[in-house]
Amino acid sequence: MKASIAFLGFAVAATALSAPRNPSRKKPHAVNPKDFVYVGGLRLKDGKGLHYITGLNYWACLNLAADASQGGNYSRLVTELDQMAAHGVNHLRIMASSEGAPTPQPFRINPPLMDAPGKYNEKIFRGLDICLDELSKRGIRATMTLNNEWQWSGGFAQYVSWALNNTAIPYPPSWNMTKAPQRPTPHTGWGNYSDTSDGAHSYNEFTDFANQIYTNAQAEQWYKDHIKTVVTRRNTVNGRRYNEDATIMTWQLANEPQSLSSYSPADPLFPWVARISSYIRHLAPKQLISVGLESKQGEHIFKAVHRAPDVDYATTHCWVQNWGVYDMYDASAANLKAAQDFATQFVANTSAWAREVGKPVFLEEFGMARDNWENKDKEYPYLSSAGTSHKDAYFNTIIGAVVADFKKGGAYVGTCPWAYGGIWRPETQVVNKIGMVWAGDPPHESPGWYDLYDTDEAMGIVARQQKDVAAWIKKNQTRGHGY
């Protein structure tokens, strides 16, 4: 996910989806492992025609699918995958990486996939195999995220630390489950963010450190070694090579790589994107490649990144609270409208930029807190008991804006909210023996902040999106339009 960074707001009318319908309960068709999604103009296509992404972020898939001795929970995994499939979800954005160290590391996924350069935990790797096999059975494709700007999976900073002889990582403020306040029952939370008294550094210090990966040859080589290991792996469950399995729609360079400047042609991000995407293309010519950029950095960086020849489509992330547009403690209609106006203009702007680049664009992260003004004086701000009036209205607006753009021939090809928490709730959480709770939110952030739960109306909005677009595609492809 994201860091809190200021961003300019916009104003435009919101778009709503159609009236509620029940999600489909039909058993989905499995992914044909040879039916690779491909780009045609501003569209994605598969063997059936137009391919629209109804997605969710589900970063912990590989860990939930892993052996119980590694903190996995297979029964929860299949329950939640069935729930998502029943709501028409056909795509999950998941982690295909996490980096640890020989010693336990804070604020991140544990156990990691890779303990040291080239040293893998095969039980976690097998979890990724299981995850992909279960997705394929349900007709769900995947974006495989291969690295991370942020601390919650190790990511850039861990590679740089390794390359600099295990230099200490200047962690920014991150959620610490052991910090006060604590609940009376041990190992159930709550915790709080670390701060300077705990040794936390600024986000600028952290990103300056992490972004050395763009110029550190050893860190880049270890990263490329990881890419090759994952992309060429043979799935131990179904025997498929990862790079020969159409369940994997996309290989993604990293979650939210940051630029080093507001815009400079000399920014090392740009040649790094070109090098890494070219390397992936060589290993996986049948699958798509995306960068993972939020696109909050503006038009010039959006275009410079996504014009790389081996990048197949653009990505956007929209975070109205983190970017200073929305206040989760403000119940006013004006607060909600500011978020809706920003989101619809953000979609319009980035669609226009993508059309100029000549590539599709995918809204692969967005979210909103619950009505947390209801929790302001309670023991934890992110209790699931809070309502979702603002969240539901916002989801209708931003998903509606993408659907409208798709129907009118714009560059958008789908949405992917952050993040599916499924059956998990903060009120009933228990930290497992490895120190983790598998919330929708990652371990460096407050559990429950942006979770989508199985009973949330937001899941109905996701399902209606899928039905609406599927009906439109059927009608327009029959008439020979929509391409």
Query: What is the model's pLDDT at position 271?
Result: 98
Q: What is the pLDDT of residue 25?
A: 54
List pLDDT tens digits, range 354-378.
999 999 999 999 999 999 999 999 9
For the sheet with 361-366, list strands across it.
288-290, 248-252, 141-145, 91-95, 53-57, 412-415, 361-366, 314-318
Characterise 445 by phi-psi region: left (phi > 0), alpha (psi -120 to 50), beta (else).
beta
If you average pLDDT over residues 87-105, what whole number do you get? 94
**Among candidates 316, 251, 315, which has minimal Cα distance to 277?**
251
Quick count: other Cβ atoms within 10 Å of Cβ 22?
A: 11
Nearest residue to 157 (alpha-carbon basis) of 319, 342, 3: 3
3-state secondary structure 95-134: ECCCECCCCCCCCCCCCCCEEECCEECHHHHHHHHHHHHH
* Res. 262 pLDDT band, cuts 50 70 90: confident
Q: What are phi and psi of 141, to 5 degrees?
A: -95, 175
Question: In this structure, are residues 214 and 253 in contact, taking their beta carbons and an 8 Å threshold?
Answer: no
Angle at 31 between CA 55 and CA 481, to 5 degrees: 70
Q: Report d(CA 155, CA 444) in Å as an integer.
A: 13
- pLDDT tens for 14-65 read 333 443 444 445 667 899 999 999 999 999 999 999 999 999 999 999 999 9
Residue 228 has pLDDT above 50, yes or no: yes
**Mean of pLDDT values over 230-249:** 98
Reduced to 3 states, what is the DSSP secondary structure of residue 298?
coil
Distance of CA 17 to the CA centre of its chain: 23
- The span from the CA of 376 to the CA of 62, in Å, is 34
Tokens for 145, please give them: 């995220």
DSSP-derived letter for residue 32 is P
Q: Quick one: pLDDT band at residue 481, thresholds 50, 70, 90? A: very low
| In the predicted structure, residue 4 carries a pLDDT above the cut 60 | no
Nearest CA to 326 among 340, 339, 317, 337?
A: 339
Instruction: Give CA–CA dist 380/181, Å, rounded.
Output: 9
Task: Mean pLDDT check: name the lowest of 26-30, 108-112, 272-276, 458-462.
Answer: 26-30
Average model confidence (pLDDT) across the chain? 93
Work out the average pLDDT over 250-267.
94
Structure tokens at 411: 């560059």
For the purposes of burial, counting CB atoms within 10 Å of the CB of 379, is it exposed (0-12), middle (13-18) or buried (19 or more)?
Answer: exposed
Distance between CA atoms of 164 and 210, rounded to whole angstroms? 12
Say how far apart CA 129 and CA 332 lie, in whole Å: 46
Is residue 293's pLDDT more than 90?
yes
> Is it the case that residue 10 has pLDDT exceeding 60?
no
Model pLDDT, residue 7? 34
CATH number for the region 38-478 comes to: 3.20.20.80
Domain chopping of the chain, boundaries: 38-478
| Residue 449, preceding peptide bond in cis (omega within 30° of 0) | no
So what's the pLDDT on residue 103?
78
> Long-range contacts for 349-352 (Cβ within 8 Å, ≥24 apart)?
349/10, 349/299, 350/295, 350/302, 350/314, 350/316, 350/411, 351/405, 351/410, 351/411, 351/412, 352/411
Across 242-360, where does the E strand assignment appear? 248-252, 288-290, 314-318
Mean pLDDT over 169-192 rounds to: 95
Tokens of 362: 């995918």
Residues 422-446 pLDDT 10s: 999 999 999 998 889 999 999 999 9
Beta bridge partners of 362: 315
The residue type found at 76 is R
Question: How high is the pLDDT of residue 15?
Answer: 38
Query: Is 376 strand, coil or helix?
Result: coil
H/E run at residue 303: helix 299-306
Quick check: 73 and 438 in contact, CB under 8 A? Answer: yes
- Cα separation values, 355 from 197, 317, 348, 465, Å: 47, 17, 11, 23
Tell me the average pLDDT across 382-390.
Answer: 98
pLDDT tens track for 125-136? 999 999 999 999
